[in-house]
């Protein structure tokens, strides 16, 4: 059982049991979620934004992710629901006065406390390091600890004074159950926004239609008497032009009827002038045509060629006379 060197192997070296499940260090997981961006994995620096699921991002990283439209773009699971900048909210954070940042341990000879955080709750003073639950208000973006929200129950923001509802409170880096609840609220919020947009569009169309109808109804009443006379004349002229030469007598009878009806509402002199003008126009249209009208056709004398312009050989064309 011995080896060349006289060593004796033990049981745990020969018999291999089941592999142990690797456990994630809780402190490292908390530091990764609360101190680093969920897209670029870089340290969080202002301006910091958060999505409706409670994840933290650097604003410049979100803009770069949205602007990248190349086919080689790496789709990140933590930002799949972020389609534009409206899907994230810029956070109004409160700085920790005792936070030194990277300046305290520049040489690497000091102890770096991982429990320290760059931001605190403005009401209670708890540090935002992941040990305590924090949330932000979707209406204004102010960040508070859950303890402060429970102890001081108000419907107005403690920092900026803006009103909010229970649905506006979003937990930062919550558990799986809290994330599922936030996703349901996010979908409901988007549905409400779509319905409101459709309702506004329908209201605008209704107002446009109503305004058009009111204009059409109020149009004839708002016309001046001269405009009314012009419209009556156009209607009568159209009627007289539509009649044939054989129906002149019938048009005269109808014109007399129109003149009688107009004499009741207008003075007799004006009605007679309208009637005579209409009859004169009908006679000119039904009688002989003018020279300007005849010059359009090739049978007119202006369209015929002189003898000097005629060719020596004769062809059968419409221009030879």
Q: Report which of 266, 262, 263 is spatially closest to residue 236, judged by C-alpha positions.
A: 262
Look up the pTM and report it.
Answer: 0.55
- Output the tens digit of pLDDT for each of the chain's 321 residues: 555 667 788 887 888 878 777 787 788 888 888 989 999 989 999 899 999 999 999 999 999 999 988 888 888 888 888 998 989 999 999 998 888 776 656 666 666 666 778 899 999 889 998 888 999 998 899 999 999 988 888 888 888 888 888 888 999 998 889 999 999 988 888 888 888 888 888 888 878 777 776 766 665 544 455 554 555 555 545 544 544 444 444 444 444 444 444 444 444 444 444 444 444 454 445 567 787 787 777 777 777 666 666 555 555 555 544
End-to-end CA distance of the chain: 133
Return the closest-CA partner of residue 31 out of 121, 131, 119, 177.
131
Phi/psi for 205 (5° steps) reads -65, -40
Domains in the chain, ordered, with CATH?
26-101+113-189 (3.30.40.10), 225-288 (no CATH)
* C-alpha dihedral, 262 to 264 to 269 to 275, nearest 10°: 20
């Amino acid at each position: 059982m011995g080896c060349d060197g006289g060593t004796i192997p033990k049981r745990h070296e020969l018999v291999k049991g089941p592999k142990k499940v690797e456990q994630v260090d809780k402190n490292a997981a908390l530091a990764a979620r609360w101190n680093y961006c969920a897209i670029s994995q870089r340290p969080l620096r202002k301006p910091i934004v958060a999505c409706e699921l409670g994840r933290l991002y650097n604003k410049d990283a979100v803009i770069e992710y949205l602007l990248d439209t190349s086919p080689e773009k790496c789709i990140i699971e933590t930002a799949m629901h972020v389609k534009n900048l409206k899907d994230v909210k810029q956070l109004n954070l409160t700085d920790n006065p005792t936070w030194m940042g990277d300046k305290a341990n520049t040489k690497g000879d000091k102890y770096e406390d991982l429990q320290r955080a760059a931001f605190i709750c403005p009401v209670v003073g708890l540090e935002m390091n992941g040990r305590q639950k924090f949330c932000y208000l979707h209406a204004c973006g102010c960040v508070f600890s859950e303890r402060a929200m429970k102890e001081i129950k108000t419907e107005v923001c403690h920092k900026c004074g803006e009103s909010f509802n229970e649905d506006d409170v979003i937990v930062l880096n919550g558990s799986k159950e809290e994330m599922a609840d936030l996703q349901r609220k996010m979908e409901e919020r988007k549905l409400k926004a779509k319905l409101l947009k459709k309702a506004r569009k329908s209201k605008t169309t209704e107002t446009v239609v109503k305004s058009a109808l009111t204009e059409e109804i109020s149009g004839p009443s708002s016309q001046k008497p001269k405009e009314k006379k012009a419209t009556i004349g156009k209607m009568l002229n159209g009627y007289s032009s539509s009649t044939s030469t054989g129906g002149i007598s019938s048009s005269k009878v109808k014109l007399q009827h129109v003149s009688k009806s107009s004499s009741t509402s207008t003075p007799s002199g004006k009605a007679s002038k309208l009637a005579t003008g209409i009859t004169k126009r009908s006679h000119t249209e039904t009688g002989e045509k003018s020279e300007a009208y005849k010059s359009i056709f090739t049978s007119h004398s202006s369209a015929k060629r002189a003898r000097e312009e005629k060719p020596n050989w004769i062809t059968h064309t419409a221009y030879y006379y």
